[in-house]
Amino acid sequence: MSVSMEEFLKRRKSRNKAILAVLVGLCVLFYAITIARLTH
Amino acid sequence: MTDIASAEFDAGTAPLSAAGVGDYWALLKPRVMSLVVFTGFAGLWVAPGHINPVIAAVAILCIAIGAGASGAINMWYDRDIDAVMNRTLGRPIPAGRMQPNEALSFGVMLACGSVILMGLAVNVAAGALLAGTIGFYVFIYTMWLKRRTPQNIVIGGAAGAFPPMVGWAAVTGDIGWPSVALFALIFFWTPPHFWALALFRSGDYQKAGVPMLPVVAGPRETKKQMLVYTVVLWPIAVAPYFMGIAGAAYLAVAAVLSLCFTGFSVAVWFDATDKWPKRMFAFSILYLTLLFALLILDRAPGGLLG
């Protein structure tokens, strides 16, 4: 399947944003786990 | 407009990915994942003992990611048969939007991540059970049974039945008998559920060479076995009451729903068309959802009967 360069760049940008969101989410998650474990 | 097919790296390296975020999401089989999360949460909710809400949320997240990882690896392995079945033709790999290796690496990464996180943040028992669940789905069901035996979904159904045990283990750190009852409930529900689907999708499975029971043994034998499984479900569906994890309201509704499920199976037996298999498939989802919803509600503050 081939897509236009414009569409490819759009998809790559959205993938990068999703990866950023996942990384931020993981930071928050590990912070929350640490707090939860410390207060347990 | 430039075609990126000509913008690939040198031979031997991976081509640029054309997959969007939605394709990665589709790899996780979100509808299956939602049912897994729901039953996993039920196991966690009804388990005796206390769990920190944050750790409980992490456990559910790990169950969801583990289920998604299994789905992604399944789509990687089954890409050849997905390409010939109408139901699965539009999936990211057969549709050409994603390279098979992307799906595999995504699935393996999620599987390892979810198991490690579950083991470290929740407990080792839950992590080990989650690893077993993913391994069972990928190796036992997808790679071994699915294409070899009409009993594929009977034994493979265990993979879908593990999540309540994982949820239970997240709280208690072990495997209790009530969690085994929840496992059995999903295990014995799976065959009539999938065979109802297979009855009106047998053409698809036949085309792909998947030996589903209606394809191999015919509709009559399939309907007979569906009926048997719905009857076997009677004592299992009410077992949570006798094991002390559900109240009388659950018992009454579970008994009625189980009778209805058998009723649907009888209707399928006498129906030569797709009408009743389709209805039974829809009811089977409602059946399991309601039973687990009742289990959760029964354990909510105040319970089902206030």
Contact A1 B18 (CB under 8 A): yes
List the single best residue of A3, A17, A27, A31 to mutate versus B (max B Cβ within 10 A): A3
CB atoms inside a 10 Å sphere around CB B214:
24
Calculate Rg over the CA atoms of chain B. 20
Q: How far apart are CA B122 and CA A40, in angstroms?
A: 12
Tokens coding B117: 């996180």
Contact B58 A8 (CB under 8 A): no
Q: How far apart are CA B194 and CA B187, in angstroms?
A: 11
Contact B16 A8 (CB under 8 A): yes
3-class DSSP state for residue A34? helix
Looking at beta carbons, which residues of chain B come within 8 Å of A3? 3-4, 18
Q: Is the ipTM of this complex over 0.90?
A: no
Would you say how long chain B is, in residues? 306
Cβ–Cβ < 8 Å for A14, B20: yes
Looking at beta carbons, which residues of chain A come within 8 Å of B97? 1
A38–chain B Cβ distance below 8 A for any pair: no
Cβ–Cβ < 8 Å for B239, B182: no
Looking at beta carbons, which residues of chain B come within 8 Å of A32? 54, 58
The answer to which of A14-23, A28-37, B261-270, B296-305 has the lowest mean pLDDT is B296-305
The average pLDDT across A21-36 equals 92
Contact A8 B4 (CB under 8 A): yes
The string over B65-78, giving b where at least 16 C-beta atoms fall within 10 Å of a residue's C-beta and e elsewhere, is bbbbbbbbbbbbbb
Per-residue pLDDT tens digits for B8-42: 434 344 556 778 899 999 999 999 999 999 999 99
Give the pLDDT confidence score for residue A3 in this predicted structure: 74
Looking at beta carbons, which residues of chain A come within 8 Å of B4? 2-5, 8
Give the pLDDT confidence score for residue B305 in this predicted structure: 56
Looking at beta carbons, which residues of chain A come within 8 Å of B21? 11, 14-15, 17-18
Contact A37 B121 (CB under 8 A): yes
A23–chain B Cβ distance below 8 A for any pair: no
Contact B3 A4 (CB under 8 A): yes
Model pTM score: 0.88
- Low-confidence stretches of chain B (pLDDT < 50) are 1-13
